[in-house]
Amino acid sequence: MTPRYIWFPSGRRPSREVMVGHVGLGGSNPVRVQSMLTSDTMNTEACVKEALGLAEAGCEIVRITAPTVKDARNLGEIKKALLAAGCDVPLVADIHFKPDAAMEAAQWVEKVRINPGNYADSKKFKTREYSDVEYAAEIDRIRERFTPLVELCKERGVAMRIGTNHGSLSDRIMNRHGDSPAGMVESALEFARIARDLGYHQFVFSMKASNPKVMIAAYRLLASRLAELDAAEKAAADGSSYEGWNYPLHLGVTEAGDGEDGRIKSAIGIGSLLADGMGDTIRVSLTEDAIHEIPVAKALLAARDLRTPPAEIAGRAFPCNDPFSYVRRPSAPLEVNGLKLGGEETFRVFTTADRWQALAHKIDRLGDFAPETTVETSGVVELDPRDEAAISDLNHSAQAHLVTVRDGLDMPVITAFRLLSLRLDARHPILLKDTLGDFTSAEGAAGDFLPCLLRAATNIGALLCDGIGDAVLVRGEPAPGQSLRIAYNILQAAGARIFKTDYVACPSCGRTLFNLQETTARIKASTIHLKGVRIAVMGCIVNGPGEMADADFGYVGGAPGKVNLYVGKVAVKFNIPESEAVERLVDLIKEHGKWVDAPAREEVAV
Ligand code: SF4
């Protein structure tokens, strides 16, 4: 059966309340902000200091990795020290591969996160067919391993996150569903069914991926499947009370990286789903000190446009053909000021005439961040997507036109462009804008960069991931050069126009075997000019290889001071001293024919 997409445009997806210690997730609670420590779990003092800093910054739930039973036991010491310091922030143990560590952690913390891809399975990347009988036997095996944890959590009132990650699905799921949003959803549901059978309901779901398009699709598919299961349960109950499938959602883009790119990727994934009305808690995952994640998460929540869309589209099916997998809206190719756009052409970057003028003296030195044309000279048709007469005129015109939403409308940007794409004949290309004219907003005028960046990334990025848009215009950021850099970086993060290397970098945690921030910076310095190459920088061999998603090359911590290098998911160089590893990575990229020398040109910074 084709899943039905549920869009919650006029508010929030209804969910039950799940308590994590004293903090409620879902229900009528606000969307909670959480983060994860980067300190070594065995270093109690460092963990306490980091957790106190996070709590003070507004982090409402703190996650800590528990790679071994010993680490899990130390969570008790961390908890004690935090309480002694007057901090009752709930703690979450992050578990991969080790049911024993989960059982120990559940004695000390308020929530346990398990990864259904590796809780009861070690990854072997085996290709095999499972008959229904064999598959059922696998589920029985999982039930046996998972039941003790569920019973312990139920008894102690400990919450759980069933947290699926793209790229670390079990071999069983991979063979039946592939490394796909459908596989991610089914992986989580296998564990949820077991928990429900045992009468345990204090859990939430997550569907993280480093690719925002995959992440968005997986959460939408999950919300849709949960709604179907809920409806079936309700029908079967036939008027009597029933246990719903309305579990809260934890949103996050995993391995988003650092700096502007990490913030943009997070805003696209998380912001898009918040705009759909999904999400009960969020974690912005940056390859930076964890404390930097909090202002970004708060700004993303503050940037949500909660205005109720017009009644005519509230509750309507989502405008794109297929919200669960990416399809670009099929417009006709068009030439604007000698620039080809629409159809299968490159996504274009527009600016305004005054910004073009301000940059005129250095436009030829802006390199990959140069504007391509101005909106004023483009002949773009601006309209209100609710204006049926204007839409009808365009749809009956013989020619294709570049179309955008008119400024000053009382609609959220995403809603307005979705409505436009729903009503406009598909052959007309669409110019996306980050704002509808409220670009003289307080934050823009005050030069507050972060809200402008996140709003542009959320609005334009979410629409690009929906398949809508052929050109983009960023005006919320007042600095002309920065607004162009943001526009190109959004196109890159949404996978719409690749003009530089793409990085998948884990945020680091207590398992990390090298300094991730410094190493990522060194790798970037050597490889940033490689268009279309995807490089993963992962702190440990336990989780790193599984979560590199579809990276071309991987730089993974193999042991303290030693690095393993990967081509795709295959390890090809082992135990390279850290001091040589970046150079050896470059050699590997050269060996595989993906290297080009950096262009020798004079460019100005934007
Ligand atoms: S890949 Fe990174 S964040 Fe994930 S467990 Fe390993 S070190 Fe921690």
Q: Which of 508, 520, 537 for a ligand 1 pocket mutation test, highest count of atoms within 8 Å of Cβ?
A: 508
The CA 16 to ligand 1 mean position distance, Å, reads 30
Q: 413 and 345: one domain? A: yes
Per DSSP, 267 falls in state I
Give the best-scoring range by mean pLDDT among 106-110, 274-278, 600-604: 106-110
Q: Judge whether 56 lies within some domain.
A: yes
Residue 319 has pLDDT above 50, yes or no: no
Indicate the SS3 state at residue 466: coil
Query: What pLDDT does residue 306 have?
Result: 75
Query: What pLDDT does residue 497 have?
Result: 93
Q: 226 and 338: one domain? A: no
Tell me the pairing of strands 91-95 and 502-505.
unpaired
Q: Judge whether 226 lies within some domain.
A: yes
pLDDT digits (tens, 9 = 90+) for 134-181: 888 889 999 999 999 999 999 999 999 999 988 778 878 887 877 788
For atom 6 of ligand 1, which residue has the closest CA? 540
Residue 5 has pLDDT above 80, yes or no: no
Q: How many helices (H) and strands (E) does the chain have?
A: 18, 23
- Residue 434 corresponds to which tokens in the numbers above? 């980050």
Q: 120 and 81: one domain? A: no
What does pTM read for this prediction?
0.90
Q: For the chain, how many structural domains are there in total?
A: 4
Residues 6+ away with beta carbon under 8 Å from 97: 118, 119, 122, 542
Residue 182 has pLDDT above 70, yes or no: yes
Residue 535 has pLDDT above 90, yes or no: yes
Please tell me the distance from the alpha carbon of residue 28 to that of residue 319, in angstroms, as a whole number.
28
CB 100 within 8 A of CB 69: yes
- Residue 293 corresponds to which tokens in the numbers above? 């994640």
Please tell me the distance from the alpha carbon of residue 65 to that of residue 494, in angstroms, as a whole number.
29
Please identify, among 493, 516, 534, the residue that sits at the C-terminal boundary of a domain. Answer: 493
Query: What pLDDT does residue 59 have?
Result: 98
pLDDT digits (tens, 9 = 90+) for 432-470: 999 998 655 555 556 678 989 999 999 999 999 989 999
For atom 5 of ligand 1, which residue has the closest CA? 543
Chain Cα centroid distance, residue 554: 20
Would you report the helix, strand and coil content of the chain in percent, each value rounded to 5? 40, 15, 45
Indicate the SS3 state at residue 75: helix
The CA 220 to ligand 1 mean position distance, Å, reads 26
pLDDT digits (tens, 9 = 90+) for 262-277: 999 999 999 999 988 8
Angle, helix 181-197 to helix 212-237, in steps of 10 degrees: 40
Percent of the chain with pLDDT over 90: 68
CA angle 420, 374, 341 (to 5 degrees): 55
Residue 4 has pLDDT above 50, yes or no: no
Categorize the per-residue pLDDT at 46 as very low, low, confident or very high, splitting at 50, 70 and 90: very high
Residue 238 has pLDDT above 80, yes or no: yes
For atom 8 of ligand 1, which residue has the closest CA? 509
Query: What pLDDT does residue 321 have?
Result: 47
Q: 419 and 485: one domain? A: yes
Phi first, then psi: what are they for 68, rounded to 5°? -135, 170
Residue 361 has pLDDT above 50, yes or no: yes
Q: Which of 92, 115, 516, 542 for a ligand 1 pocket mutation test, highest count of atoms within 8 Å of Cβ?
A: 542
Q: Judge whether 1 lies within some domain.
A: no
Please identify, among 471, 493, 515, the residue that sits at the C-terminal boundary of a domain. Answer: 493
The CA 89 to ligand 1 mean position distance, Å, reads 23
* Selection from 523, 419, 506 nearest residue 9 by Cα: 419
For atom 4 of ligand 1, which residue has the closest CA? 543
Query: What pLDDT does residue 2 have?
Result: 44
Q: 538 and 473: one domain? A: no
Strand stretches in 115-202, DSSP E: 159-165
Please identify, among 188, 208, 236, the residue that sits at the C-terminal boundary of a domain. Answer: 236
Please tell me the distance from the alpha carbon of residue 146 to that of residue 191, in angstroms, as a whole number.
8
The CA 574 to ligand 1 mean position distance, Å, reads 18
Please tell me the distance from the alpha carbon of residue 501 to that of residue 503, in angstroms, as a whole number.
6
Residue 189 has pLDDT above 90, yes or no: yes
The CA 81 to ligand 1 mean position distance, Å, reads 25
Categorize the per-residue pLDDT at 569 as very low, low, confident or very high, splitting at 50, 70 and 90: confident
Q: 423 and 526: one domain? A: no
Pocket of ligand 1 (CB under 6 A): 65, 506-509, 511-512, 538-540, 542-544, 547
Q: Which of 63, 538, 548 for a ligand 1 pocket mutation test, highest count of atoms within 8 Å of Cβ?
A: 538
Strand stretches in 196-287, DSSP E: 203-208, 250-251, 281-282
Residue 101 has pLDDT above 60, yes or no: yes
Q: 438 and 582: one domain? A: no
Residue 411 has pLDDT above 90, yes or no: no
Residue 457: domain span? 316-493
Average pLDDT, the chain: 90
- Residue 319 corresponds to which tokens in the numbers above? 């405008």
Please tell me the distance from the alpha carbon of residue 194 to that of residue 398, in angstroms, as a whole number.
58
Query: What pLDDT does residue 383 have?
Result: 96
Percent of the chain with pLDDT over 70: 91
Please tell me the distance from the alpha carbon of residue 75 to that of residue 62, in angstroms, as a whole number.
12
Phi first, then psi: what are they for 554, rounded to 5°? -130, 140
The CA 398 to ligand 1 mean position distance, Å, reads 55
* Selection from 99, 30, 88, 90 nearest residue 64 by Cα: 90
Q: Judge whether 28 lies within some domain.
A: yes
Residue type, 246: N
The CA 485 to ligand 1 mean position distance, Å, reads 30
Please tell me the distance from the alpha carbon of residue 131 to that of residue 252, in angstroms, as a whole number.
34
Place of tokens 């929030």: 12
For atom 3 of ligand 1, which residue has the closest CA? 508
Residue 9 has pLDDT above 90, yes or no: no
Average pLDDT value for residue range 538-559: 86
The CA radius of gyration of the chain, in Å to the nearest whole number, is 24
Q: Judge whether 103 lies within some domain.
A: no
Question: Measured from the CA of 540, which atom of ligand 1 is nearest?
Answer: 6
Q: 488 and 508: one domain? A: no
Q: Judge whether 69 lies within some domain.
A: yes
Dump the DSSP string for 323-368. Answer: TTS-----PPPEEETTEEESTTSPPEEEE-HHHHHHHGGGGGG-GG
Please tell me the distance from the alpha carbon of residue 388 to that of residue 77, in angstroms, as a whole number.
64
Residue 577, beta-bridge partner list: 562
Burial per residue of 493-518, b for 16 or more beta-carbon CB atoms within 10 angstroms, e otherwise? bbbbbeebbbbbbbbbbbbbbbebbe
The CA 510 to ligand 1 mean position distance, Å, reads 8
Q: 126 and 219: one domain? A: yes
Question: Measured from the CA of 556, which atom of ligand 1 is nearest?
Answer: 1
Place of tokens 């921030």: 517
Look up the CATH number of the domain holding residue 554.
3.30.413.10
Phi first, then psi: what are they for 228, rounded to 5°? -65, -45
Q: 466 and 566: one domain? A: no
Q: 384 and 452: one domain? A: yes
CB 120 within 8 A of CB 126: no
Q: Judge whether 207 lies within some domain.
A: yes
Q: Judge whether 105 lies within some domain.
A: no
Q: How many CB atoms lie within 10 A of CB 382?
A: 14
Question: Measured from the CA of 547, which atom of ligand 1 is nearest?
Answer: 1
Q: 473 and 514: one domain? A: no
